[in-house]
Amino acid sequence: MNAPFLAGAPRIGAERPPLTLLIAAPRGFCAGVDRAIEIVERALERYGPPVYVRHEIVHNRTVVDGLKAKGAVFVEELDEVPDGAPVIFSAHGVPKSIPETASARGLAWLDATCPLVSKVHRRAERQIQAGRHIVFVGHRGHPEVIGTFGQVPEGTITLIETVAEVAALPFAAEAPLAYLTQTTLSVDDTAEIVAALRARFPGIVGPRAEDICYATSNRQAAVKAIAPRCQLVLVIGSPNSSNSLRLVEVAERCGTPSRLIQNAAEIAPDWLTGVATLGLTAGASAPERLVRQVVERVAELRSVAEEHVVTAEEKMVFKLPRQLVD
């Protein structure tokens, strides 16, 4: 009787067809994600479990599950946090009302908001103080958008997602306006939207560069470098990770099919049919161990030759909150 085998997997003794695997760099964790995870881990060491975290600390199930195993408890709202327990706010940022409520309850809280997101928050406050209405480019419902809107009075900021929405804005051409952007957007899409804003509102004020963070820009540039050489690009990331979804879009705009996967187990063998060169990258919330697991899975199916394509070097490091620094 023949031994059982996985459907689509090579039989024992069969030669695996060759595959060039282009691994993009930079990829995976950025400085903001590193900082957020370290805040939770240090808080667990300092206070002992449980430590509460409002919303996913970063958008990655593997990371969240790993922190749960160490004693982190993830909640949606502050009323789920017991009195006296430490609570951490996610890397995406929160409205001002959240730390105010935590302080009013006497909770010990730590802010894991990415410093680049916090910079957008401060810019929003300054524009309102200067008497300008803010046009914010971002994705409806994303935690970063909700957090930024919560920094300024209601009615002083308007969200748009597309170039088409620029034409529908109810402001005169000479109105005192400013624009800001979510940090995890498509670089190309955002440039088009900003160009449309400047064309319609010549006096609109914006930052010297869009607020898209260095890590998002670098990861998109790395995908642009590998995608034209590939027949398929795999992006490791969560479905609710904005920056990961943008990497899929970037690859597809290069004319290369792309798939978002959360882990190696999701790879179907038939995806590699007709693929001589495979691209691989990871969103800013995906740990490197997931990348290596994907490489190992692909190597079970094909004879892999790895090539690392480096388009930038990242050395950014962000300081921890003073409460966690000895």
Amino acid 326: pLDDT:
72
Amino acid 14: pLDDT:
52
Residue found by looking up tokens 């010990």 in the block: 108
Q: Start-end ranges of CATH 3.40.50.11270 in the chain?
A: 31-114
Domain boundaries 31-114, corresponding CATH code:
3.40.50.11270
Amino acid 69: pLDDT:
98
Per-residue pLDDT of 159-213, as tens digits, reads: 999 999 999 999 999 999 999 999 999 999 999 999 999 999 999 999 977 788 9
Amino acid 209: pLDDT:
73
CB under 8 Å, gap of 24 or more: what pairs does 10-17 form? Answer: 10/301, 15/303, 16/301, 16/302, 16/303, 17/302, 17/303
8 Å CB contact between 56 and 74: yes
What mean pLDDT comes out for the span 220-237?
98
Buried (b) or exposed (e) across 277-306, using 16+ Cβ within 10 A? Answer: bbbbbbbbbbbeebbebbeebbeebbebee
Strand 258-261 versus strand 232-236 pairing type? parallel
Within 10 Å of residue 271's Cβ, how many Cβ atoms? 18
Per-residue pLDDT of 103-153, as tens digits, reads: 999 999 999 999 999 999 999 999 999 999 999 999 999 999 999 999 999
Confidence of residue 16 (pLDDT cuts 50, 70, 90): confident
- Neighbour-count burial of 61, counting CB atoms closer than 10 A to its CB (0-12 exposed, 13-18 middle, 19+ buried): middle
Amino acid 55: pLDDT:
94
Cα 184 off chain centre by:
6
Number of helices (H) and strands (E), helices first, in the chain?
10, 12
As a whole-number percent, the residues of the chain with pLDDT over 70 amount to 96
Supply the pTM of this predicted model: 0.91
Inter-CA distances, 158 with 120, 244, 271, Å:
15, 25, 42
Whether the per-residue pLDDT at 6 is higher than 80: the answer is no
What are the tokens at 228?
């034209």
Whether the per-residue pLDDT at 5 is higher than 60: the answer is no
Per-residue pLDDT of 275-304, as tens digits, reads: 999 999 999 999 999 999 999 999 999 999
Whether the per-residue pLDDT at 13 is higher than 80: the answer is no
What is the spatial distance between Cα 131 and Cα 23, in angstroms, rounded to a whole number?
Answer: 47
Topology given in CATH for the domain delimited by 115-200: Cobalt-precorrin-4 Transmethylase; domain 1 (3.40.1010)
Amino acid at 100: E
8 Å CB contact between 20 and 276: yes
Domain boundaries 18-29+214-310, corresponding CATH code:
3.40.1010.20
What are the tokens at 147?
């957090």
Sign of the Cα torsion 41, 42, 47, 52 reads: negative
Q: Start-end ranges of CATH 3.40.1010.20 in the chain?
A: 18-29+214-310, 115-200
Residues annotated as catalytic (active site), given as ranges = 144
Amino acid 15: pLDDT:
78
Whether the per-residue pLDDT at 2 is higher than 50: the answer is no
Residues in CB range of 116: below 8 A, 6 or more apart: 32, 183, 211, 213, 214
Confidence of residue 48 (pLDDT cuts 50, 70, 90): very high
What is the spatial distance between Cα 324 and Cα 139, in angstroms, rounded to a whole number?
Answer: 32
Within 10 Å of residue 154's Cβ, how many Cβ atoms? 7
* Mean pLDDT of the residues in the chain: 94
Amino acid 8: pLDDT:
41
8 Å CB contact between 211 and 185: no
Amino acid 10: pLDDT:
43
What are the tokens at 20?
């060039």
